[in-house]
Amino acid sequence: MRLNTFPGGIHSPTFKEFTATKPIKEFPFPSRVVLPLLQHTGAPLSPLVKKGDRVKRGQKIADVEAFISAPLHSPLAGKVAGIEDYFHPLLGRFPALTIENDGSGEEERKDPLCDIENKDPAFLREWIREGGMVGLGGAAFPTHVKVSPPPGKKIDTFILNGAECEPYLTCDYRVMIERSSAILTGLRVLVRACGAERVFIGIEENKIEAIEKFDKLVKDLPFPARVVPLLTKYPQGSEKQLIVAILGREVPPGGLPLDVGVVVNNVQTAWAVGRMAEEGLPLIERVITLSGECLKSPENLQVPLGTVLSDLVDFCGGWVETPKKVIMGGPMMGVAQTSLQVPVVKGTSGFVFLSNLYEKKEYPCIRCRRCIDACPMRLFPTMLGKFSEYQAFDEARDQRVLDCMECGACSYVCPSNISLTHLIRLAKAEVMRRSRKGGNQ
Amino acid sequence: MNEELKLVITSSPHLRDETTVPWIMRQVVLALLPATIWGIYFFGVSSTLLTILLSVGSTIGFEALNCKIFKKPLSITDGSAVITGLLLGLSLPPSAPFWLPLVGGGAAIFLGKEMFGGLGQNIFNPALVGRAVLLVSWPKAMSTWWVSAPFGFSGFSGGGAASTFSGVEMVTTPTPLSIAQMYGYSSLHQADPRILWRLFVGQVPGSIGEISALFLLIGFLYLWWRGVVHWDIPLSYFVGLSCVAILGGQSALFHILSGGAIMGACFMATDYVTSPISSKGRYIFGLGAGAITGVIRLLGAYPEGVTFGILTMNALVPFLDYLLPPRFGVKKSNG
């Protein structure tokens, strides 16, 4: 099998054996869910309900008049218990709606979407937005924005991202195996919405079952589609790297895949879109992986948004070892959590519970080039790290610090255990702050 | 699940691979062992082992002393001082006086490394700084080669003194490079038609660890297989040296195989700290170091040019570092 890939990157252990063979279990409706009013990349939402209101499952409960945003729907039938600050897995604390389950199970479903290939793309984009769809790979960028080509730009290729390169995570893999027909429905909606002529499905070769499954299924699609087996390498699932691996095109600095005529969507996003087309349910549930050596019974779970992490840990049987770190997302780009009270949000691909802190003695940089070889964006992380350390932010900007997507490969390989990604993150923040102020100071 | 957890918060990534600085340093020492053992075997334990041990002891000792003087945490455990000492010791002539490695080690650590701020900060390869100090201060001691009689070159100036060490008949001998510089390569080839083969396997006198191309290359291949070094600098070094040798009307292979060229190209020019991080820069660095080595050998006052060839290019590294690859997404796209 010829395997596509991108230059750079790292071969870390995948740790997928904890959950790769575990079928998706549906998590029972919790007694309450907590829904932060910002679950996507973009503008925060305003609630459409108030304390004491009764809501149905699938009912829209928050929205905002902004292009880069996606509305929020209630994953439960119940009562709005309050709107107040609560733990947020990325933002620390943020205003959130709490909904208490009343057990009635009342639902509000949209009509199934049929005759997809004859729908107006603009209608489909609005339909996608109304479903609250965002990228479920982790970045949670609103999907309708991703499938809206700017005026004058033509989208020729749609890439379905089934790479799932983050260690530990297997939710996309399980979705590909167990929810494949809904994925294809969603794919048809997304392709119609963006106007692409052909489709590639990128899957890392360690997910052989998914590759074989889609190899068979793509033949029935109404447009040319092909599965592209990818080398198992991190960050293969990064949009820009996936486009390089499959098409050899490079997204310009600060640009989007749209700039090279490509739309990339995660397989789980396609599943969520397909599910809405088939069942009329908006984005109110997603599949996540709970994994790590600390967990008694690691699982792939289909959970309602807003489910609190401690409930999920109980479902997985608690600890075999007390975790020292709890990470939302994978261990390469995920965010360390301060509390088990955080809720699942749209961008939650999983939680990983680590007892190994990977402590390594720190040494001065010996200029070994490992970070340079690992950087998928052709940056010199060691140089950027030094600029950051010495607060030489203008030099960092001139040496393309903003091209960094913080994949973490440089920190991972550094034999001196220098936190390069962290230093670069600091420099990026400062460079952006200065450019907003429109000058140097 | 409501128990209180003491959670560690750091920014991503939360995984690290296992490679550490001391591991890398150990690989380099391992890679130098074949050539070291061959040198000890060829010249005899009595004329080599003490030199090597004193050299390694000196670099470790001086680094420890430096840490004490400047109240820095003891840094000798990172393993870099061992490599500096080993490289220096291997670049000394057999039967060198005992103070030569001691002074060289001091110069390497103090002048070459610690004055710049220690590991990772130095501009020049410390072992080469030590060697350069010895070369310019005691040229005689650095170029007197006591070897067991059958391996010497007789009939060329610079050889002839005889002595007996531990029962073995020893003579001083010129090196092939000095013969080639003074009399031309052809007269050397006349004197010894199998010179290239003898240089390759390591039967021609030279510095302790530099004589066997074979064992040095075995060590280098090991490092390459381990992912510790890349072949870009050695290759471009040999290309640079070969070009100058051919322009000078001499055998390129002879110049690659003799003196410290292989040791320099594979183990000194590839030193992480003092070679460029930019890929383009590394080719320029290797080409330049090889070419300067050749020019010194053919035209310079010294028969050997590896030391100053690499040191000169070391000085250009801060500039070469800025030769970045094309920016992602700016290069013309295709597909």
Q: What was the pLDDT predicted at B333? A: 44
Residue with tokens 């005689």: B140
User: A389 is in which domain, residue-wise?
Assistant: 370-437
Is there a contact between B23 and A403 if contact means CB atoms under 8 Å apart?
A: no
Largest CA distance in chain A: 63
Averaged pLDDT, A226-241: 96
Is there a contact between A358 and B15 if contact means CB atoms under 8 Å apart?
A: yes
Please provide the size of chain B in residues: 335
Interchain CB contact of A241 with B (< 8 Å):
no
Interchain CB contact of A419 with B (< 8 Å):
yes
B21 contact residues in A (CB cutoff 8 A): 361, 363, 366, 415-416
Phi/psi at A73 (nearest 5 deg)?
A: -120, 155
**Which 3-state string (H, E, C) describes chain B?**
CCCCCCCCCCCCCCCCCCCCHHHHHHHHHHHHHHHHHHHHHHHCHHHHHHHHHHHHHHHHHHHHHHHHHCCCCCCHHHCHHHHHHHHHHHCCCCCCCCHHHHHHHHHHHHHHHHHHCCCCCCCCCHHHHHHHHHHHHCHHHHCCEEEEHHHCCCCCCCCCCEEEECCEEEEEECCHHHHHHHHCHHHHHHHCCCHHHHHHHCCCCCCCCCCCHHHHHHHHHHHHHCCCCCCHHHHHHHHHHHHHHHHCCCCHHHHHHCCCHHHHHHHHCCCCCCCCCCHHHHHHHHHHHHHHHHHHHHHCCCCCCHHHHHHHHHHHHHHHCCCCCCCCCCCCCCC
- Summarised one tens digit per residue, pLDDT across range A249-266 is 999 999 999 999 999 999
Q: Output the DSSP codes for B14-40.
A: ----S--HHHHHHHHHHHHHHHHHHHH
Q: What was the pLDDT predicted at A441? A: 45
Cβ distance A320 to A89 under 8 Å?
Answer: no
Most A CBs within 10 A among B76, B119, B323, B328, hence the mutation to make, goes to B328
- Nearest residue in A to B18, CA atom: A415
Residue A44 included in any domain: no
Point out the residue among B2, B7, B329 whose CB comes nearest to the CB of A337: B7
Point out the residue among A325, A403, A415 whose CB comes nearest to the CB of B14: A325
Is there a contact between A363 and B327 if contact means CB atoms under 8 Å apart?
A: no
Q: What was the pLDDT predicted at B177? A: 82
- Summarised one tens digit per residue, pLDDT across range A298-318 is 999 999 999 999 999 999 999
Count of A-B CB contacts under 8 Å: 166
Cis upstream peptide for A75 (omega within 30°)? no
Cβ distance B114 to B121 under 8 Å?
Answer: no
B124 contact residues in A (CB cutoff 8 A): none
- Summarised one tens digit per residue, pLDDT across range B5-36 is 899 999 999 999 999 999 999 999 999 999 99
A307 contact residues in B (CB cutoff 8 A): none
Instruction: Name which of A27-36, A218-227, B157-166 the model is least confident about.
Output: B157-166
Eight-state DSSP code of residue A24: P
- Nearest residue in B to A410, CA atom: B13
Q: What was the pLDDT predicted at A61? A: 96
Token pair for A318:
């608690």
Token pair for B119:
């590991």
Residue A66's pLDDT band, with cuts at 50, 70 and 90, is: very high
Residue A379 included in any domain: yes
**Domain locations along chain B:** 21-142, 175-320
Is there a contact between A412 and B13 if contact means CB atoms under 8 Å apart?
A: yes
A415 contact residues in B (CB cutoff 8 A): 19-21, 23-24
Point out the residue among A250, A313, A331 whose CB comes nearest to the CB of B13: A331
Counting as low any pLDDT under 50, the low residues of chain B are: 333-335
Is there a contact between B17 and A416 if contact means CB atoms under 8 Å apart?
A: no
Residue A175 has pLDDT above 90, yes or no: yes
The three-class DSSP label of residue A144 is: helix
- Nearest residue in B to A337, CA atom: B9
What ipTM did this prediction achieve?
Answer: 0.91
Most B CBs within 10 A among A324, A365, A389, hence the mutation to make, goes to A365
Residue B138 Cα, gap to closest chain A Cα (Å): 31
pLDDT over 70, % of chain A: 99
Interchain CB contact of A10 with B (< 8 Å):
yes
Residue A72 has pLDDT above 70, yes or no: yes
When divided into structural domains, chain A yields a total of: 1
Q: What was the pLDDT predicted at B181? A: 77
Is there a contact between B277 and A12 if contact means CB atoms under 8 Å apart?
A: no
Residue A233's pLDDT band, with cuts at 50, 70 and 90, is: very high
Residue A380 included in any domain: yes
Is there a contact between B24 and A368 if contact means CB atoms under 8 Å apart?
A: yes
Residue A420 included in any domain: yes
- Nearest residue in A to B228, CA atom: A368
B278 contact residues in A (CB cutoff 8 A): 380
Residue B76 Cα, gap to closest chain A Cα (Å): 12
Residue A150's pLDDT band, with cuts at 50, 70 and 90, is: confident
